[in-house]
Amino acid sequence: MKINMHIEIVRTATSSLSSMSALSAAAILAVLKKHYTTVGITIVNNVSDLETLVSCKPDLVFLGMNFLPVNSELGRNDPDKVWLTTYLNEHGIASTGSRQRAGEYETDKPMAKQQVLDSGLKTSRYFIASQWQNRGLDALPISYPVFIKPTNMGSGQGIGTDSVVRNFRDYQAKVLSLRTQFKSDSLVEEYLCGREFSVAILKAKDSETYSIMPIELVAPKDSNGNRMLSKDVKAADAECVFAVNDILVRKHVSDLAMDVYIALGARDYGRIDIRMDKDGIPQFLEANLLPSLIDNYGSFPKACAMNIDMDYETMVLHIVELGMARSGAARTKHTGPLNSTEVLI
């Protein structure tokens, strides 16, 4: 028997605004159609599309995007953007994932880093390139090598062999490249040369406990001998994934991830990326609170499978059930209890 509820999976055709690919949406659709009577995919490219979505009054929206710019020409830089989770909540419609404030941290990497620092947690020193673009050669506030990426892009966009910078000429070239290609300021960080981890976090259904599920990611070396999760590496799913079996490393990485998750105000599920410095101390990299949810692809599903033996279908249904709980909808019985490390918050 299917559950008599209406779920809409929402994504956008505008690639720079999307956190969910067409492939991911189709995979989620296939799972949910097995268990719910009415499931669809809505493409939201403008405010009119959003109004149409609300008029359908779904029981739950499975979010695959954070916001919609009112002025499409401004795109991600529109100061008057519409945040879907807030808009839907104002219309009495529940949605999956985190609230607007956490989404703002996710989509503004410097703001997230500053919130982490203000919370007394560890992340590498940084500055925003636009604030220093008119300074001289000796004005950079951190030493080379530095790592440069866009302030507001995800999925490895803007990250490549030129992201690790060791001199001022290459620094200028990378900053100009990101401004030209993405109309973005550059986040310039101390380069972290240590091991990289991705930590999936998933709330339990019936309590305020979370499963904390770290995995280690090892990207192939690029032409400069550096390992980084660039857009090309992520698209090809070329990184190797390992369980984190060292008890001390697992604890340090998991503790930082959960503390960051709380500091950013995240909800239900998300992914916190961490990299160690030269001394082996974990440092926050960035948060992805709408992580990729393609079966056998991406860190979040892999972490669920590797840490708590949670398969793709169970994972998707669990996320839906967390969202349904906020709408007062009846809970399904498809997902079992989490059995990994749990933290009460």
Nearest to 215 by CA among 245, 238, 235: 245
Q: Please report where in the chains the tokens 């992201």 appear, as a residue.
A: 163
For residues 46 and 77, state if they share a domain.
yes
Look at residue 298 in the predicted model and tell me its pLDDT. Answer: 81
Last residue of a domain, one of 174, 190, 206: 190
256 near 268, Cβ under 8 Å? no
Distance CA 46, CA 316 (A): 27
| 277 in the same domain as 168 | no
d(CA 11, CA 15): 10
**pLDDT for res 17:** 86
- The DSSP bridge pattern shows strands 126-128 and 186-190 to be antiparallel
205 and 184 co-located in one domain = no
Long-range contacts, 239-243 (Cβ 8 Å, 24+): 241/215, 241/216, 241/217, 241/299, 241/302, 241/306, 242/215, 242/216, 242/218, 243/215, 243/216, 243/306, 243/307
Amino acid letter at 119? Answer: S
164-165, strands of its sheet edge to edge: 126-128, 186-190, 146-150, 164-165
Residue 109 lies in a domain: no
**How many domains would you assign to the chain?**
3
Instruction: Residue 217: name the closest of 298, 150, 315, 100 by CA.
Output: 298
Residues 145 and 249 both lie in one domain: no
209 is in which domain, residue-wise? 193-344
Last residue of a domain, one of 169, 190, 211: 190
Domain assignment present for residue 198? The answer is: yes
Give the three-class secondary structure for 210: strand
List C-alpha distances in Å: 257 to 164, 270, 296, 317.
24, 10, 23, 24
Is there a domain that residue 76 lies in? Answer: yes
CA atoms within 13 A of residue 91's CA, in its CB half-sphere: 19
Q: How far apart are CA 120 and CA 203, in angstroms?
A: 24
Do 203 and 277 belong to one domain? yes
Query: Does 209 lie in the same domain as 324?
Result: yes
Q: 269 near 319, Cβ under 8 Å? A: yes
Q: Looking at the structure, do residues 237 and 130 belong to the same domain, yes or no?
A: no
Q: Specify if 263 maps to a domain.
A: yes
- As to burial, measured by CB atoms within 10 angstroms (0-12 exposed, 13-18 middle, 19+ buried), residue 206 is exposed
pLDDT tens for the chain, 345 residues: list them.
Answer: 899 999 999 999 988 888 999 999 999 999 999 999 999 999 999 999 999 999 999 999 999 999 998 887 777 778 889 999 999 999 999 999 999 999 999 999 999 999 999 999 999 999 998 755 555 555 678 999 999 998 877 667 778 888 999 998 899 898 988 888 888 889 999 999 999 999 999 999 988 899 999 999 988 887 776 777 766 767 667 788 999 999 999 999 999 999 999 999 999 999 999 999 999 999 999 999 999 898 878 899 999 999 999 999 999 999 999 999 987 643 333 333 343 444 433
Structure-token pair, residue 285 = 């990299």
- pTM for this model (two decimals): 0.89
Q: How many angstroms separate the CA atoms of 327 and 232, rounded?
A: 39
Please tell me the predicted confidence (pLDDT) of residue 265: 97
**Tokens found for residue 73:** 């020409």
Q: 318 vs 125, 292, 294, 313, 334, CA distance in Å?
A: 37, 15, 15, 9, 8
Q: Write the CATH number for 137.
A: 3.30.1490.20
Report the candidate in 131, 105, 130, 133 with the shortest Cα–Cα distance to residue 119.
105
